[in-house]
């Protein structure tokens, strides 16, 4: 048994930590302040491009790819610890070209894309030149049951025609977002998990319209944002379908495993950051003759936070290790478990941190806690609500006795 990263992983981890400490943290407050001053925040500030260039130069780029062709050949379990570090900052993932949904979209292209599709999109995504979005969730149906998806991707001759309305398309507001992966119903007569297709859609295709950007607890999360997007008779060559019609769920499944590890490890990083804020505040304020950190049930809150973070991290690392050693089919339960456990864990810690900060905790301008709360809250819904993941865990558990 060994709970340490590989030598290579540790080396990258050290370098990422140093980069964040030396390059990102010093500019982060200014970055957010500058963004706050802008009337139009749907822009990429120059500092981001500069840091991306610097990170790429140092080889801290596309770290999430497990292969050496596209990334650095890091194990999922090694990259997980890096993702945790980037999760402590709202901008770090982008700097290392490790931001969702681009990461998952690139993986889909590599694993399922045709040579033509790869040629069209991959180089610019790998270089961070453009960004992309993923359109799956729909406003009109309960998306917790993915088979409810009712937007259509119908093959007509040599074309595929897209119709319907999607939302929570993260990143679609980014000025560099040029590509969308759209998932829609192709054949309602096919078996349940063979009815849907994924289609590559240039964002500027006629009929694609971003109807609005969605405000979440008062923030549009610029310059990425979450969009509501209508597809009105969007016509593309049939070759835009990824891996052929009816394979949407198969691709979605494959996309999930590592992506959830990334999400969850970033959330663990956010939890560590939150706990640090909580403790520092609790040590700096006194009430009833004691620092808050030693008052009443507060030590329990701190201990519970530490205990839940440690457990959550180990579960996620084990999940990553299973993906490394047994693949997604060997990690189905763990992939569901982390998604059910970690966002809720983060939300609880943020809520406690808010409480210990008092009024300062609910003021957007004083601490990042409301923003962290929104992040946690959304994560409990994004990519499947907690309930669905617990359902998966239960189902796999029952299977052992079937």
Which residues inside 98-157 make contact with a second copy, applying CB under 8 A?
137, 139, 141-145, 148
Query: Phi/psi at 181 (nearest 5 deg)?
Result: -100, 120
Within 8 A by CB and 6+ apart from 280, the residues are: none
Residue 235 gets the label, from left (phi > 0), alpha (psi -120 to 50) or beta, of: beta
State the nearest-atom distance from the C-beta of 122 to a second copy, in Å: 29
State the nearest-atom distance from the C-beta of 180 to a second copy, in Å: 17
DSSP conformation class of 215: P
State the nearest-atom distance from the C-beta of 399 to a second copy, in Å: 10
Name which of 118 and 318 has its Cβ closer to a second copy: 318
> Do 70 and 62 contact (CB within 8 A), yes or no?
yes
What x/- string results for residues 11 through 50 when contact with a second copy is judged by CB under 8 A?
----------------------------------------
Binding span for a second copy by CB under 8 A among 83-91, 107-115, 248-256, 330-338: 330-338
Out of 299, 326, 329, 330, point to the residue binding a second copy (CB under 8 A). 299
Binding span for a second copy by CB under 8 A among 51-59, 109-117, 236-244, 318-326: 318-326
Binding span for a second copy by CB under 8 A among 66-74, 124-132, 261-269, 293-301: 293-301
The reply to whether 287 sits near a second copy by the rule CB under 8 A is: yes
What x/- string results for residues 55 through 94 when contact with a second copy is judged by CB under 8 A?
--------------------x-xx----------------
State the nearest-atom distance from the C-beta of 301 to a second copy, in Å: 8
State the nearest-atom distance from the C-beta of 298 to a second copy, in Å: 8
State the nearest-atom distance from the C-beta of 288 to a second copy, in Å: 5
Q: How far apart are alpha carbons 20 and 31 in whole angstroms?
A: 14
Task: Give 302-307's long-range contacts (Cβ < 8 A, gap of 24+).
Answer: 302/275, 302/278, 305/271, 305/275, 305/278, 305/348, 305/349, 305/352, 306/275
Name which of 15 and 285 has its Cβ closer to a second copy: 285
Name which of 116 and 387 has its Cβ closer to a second copy: 387
Strand ranges inside 219-314, DSSP E: 226-237, 286-287, 290-291
Radius of gyration of the chain (CA): 21
Start-to-end Cα distance in the chain: 31
DSSP codes joined into one string, 365-381: TT-THHHHHHHHHHHTT
Name which of 28 and 364 has its Cβ closer to a second copy: 364
Q: How far apart are alpha carbons 128 and 49 in whole angstroms?
A: 9
Residues 188-247 that bind a second copy (CB under 8 A): 212, 214-219
> Do 338 and 260 contact (CB within 8 A), yes or no?
yes
Name which of 181 and 376 has its Cβ closer to a second copy: 376
What x/- string results for residues 245 through 274 when contact with a second copy is judged by CB under 8 A?
------------------------------
Name which of 178 and 364 has its Cβ closer to a second copy: 364
Q: How far apart are alpha carbons 385 and 377 in whole angstroms?
A: 10
Q: How many residues appear in the chain?
A: 402
State the nearest-atom distance from the C-beta of 140 to a second copy, in Å: 9
């Amino acid at each position: 048994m060994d709970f340490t990263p590989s030598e290579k992983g540790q080396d990258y981890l050290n370098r990422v930590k140093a980069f964040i400490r030396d390059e990102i943290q010093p500019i982060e407050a200014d970055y957010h302040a500058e963004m706050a001053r802008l009337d139009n925040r749907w822009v990429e500030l120059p500092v981001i491009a500069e840091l991306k260039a610097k990170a790429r130069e140092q080889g801290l780029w596309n770290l999430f790819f497990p292969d050496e062709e596209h990334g650095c050949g890091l194990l999922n379990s090694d990259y997980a610890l890096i993702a945790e570090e980037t999760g402590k900052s709202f901008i770090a993932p982008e700097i290392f070209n490790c931001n969702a949904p681009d990461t998952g979209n690139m993986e889909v292209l590599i694993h399922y894309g045709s040579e033509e599709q790869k040629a069209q999109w991959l180089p610019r995504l790998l270089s961070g030149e453009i960004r992309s979005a993923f359109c799956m969730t729909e406003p009109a149906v309960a998306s917790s049951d993915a088979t409810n998806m009712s937007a259509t991707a119908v093959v007509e001759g040599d074309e595929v025609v897209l119709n319907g309305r999607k939302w929570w398309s993260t990143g679609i507001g980014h000025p560099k977002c040029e590509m969308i992966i759209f998932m829609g119903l192709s054949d309602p007569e096919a078996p349940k998990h063979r009815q849907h297709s994924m289609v590559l859609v240039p964002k500027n295709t006629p009929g694609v319209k971003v109807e609005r950007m969605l405000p979440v607890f008062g923030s549009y999360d610029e310059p990425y944002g979450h969009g509501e997007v209508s597809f009105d008779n969007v016509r593309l060559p049939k070759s835009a379908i990824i891996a052929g019609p009816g394979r949407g769920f198969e691709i979605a499944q494959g996309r999930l495993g590592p992506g959830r590890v990334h999400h969850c490890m970033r959330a663990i990083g956010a939890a560590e950051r939150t706990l640090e804020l909580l403790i520092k505040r609790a040590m700096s304020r006194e009430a009833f003759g004691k620092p808050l950190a030693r008052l009443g049930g507060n030590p329990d809150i701190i201990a519970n936070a530490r205990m839940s973070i440690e457990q959550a991290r180990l579960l996620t690392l084990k999940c990553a290790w299973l993906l490394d050693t047994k693949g997604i089919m060997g990690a189905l339960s763990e992939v569901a478990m982390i998604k059910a456990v970690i966002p809720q864990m983060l939300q609880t810690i943020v809520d406690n941190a808010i409480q210990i900060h008092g009024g300062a905790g609910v003021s957007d301008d004083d601490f990042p806690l409301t923003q962290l709360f929104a992040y946690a809250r959304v994560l409990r819904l994004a990519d499947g609500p907690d309930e669905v993941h617990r359902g998966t865990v239960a189902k796999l558990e029952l299977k052992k006795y079937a």
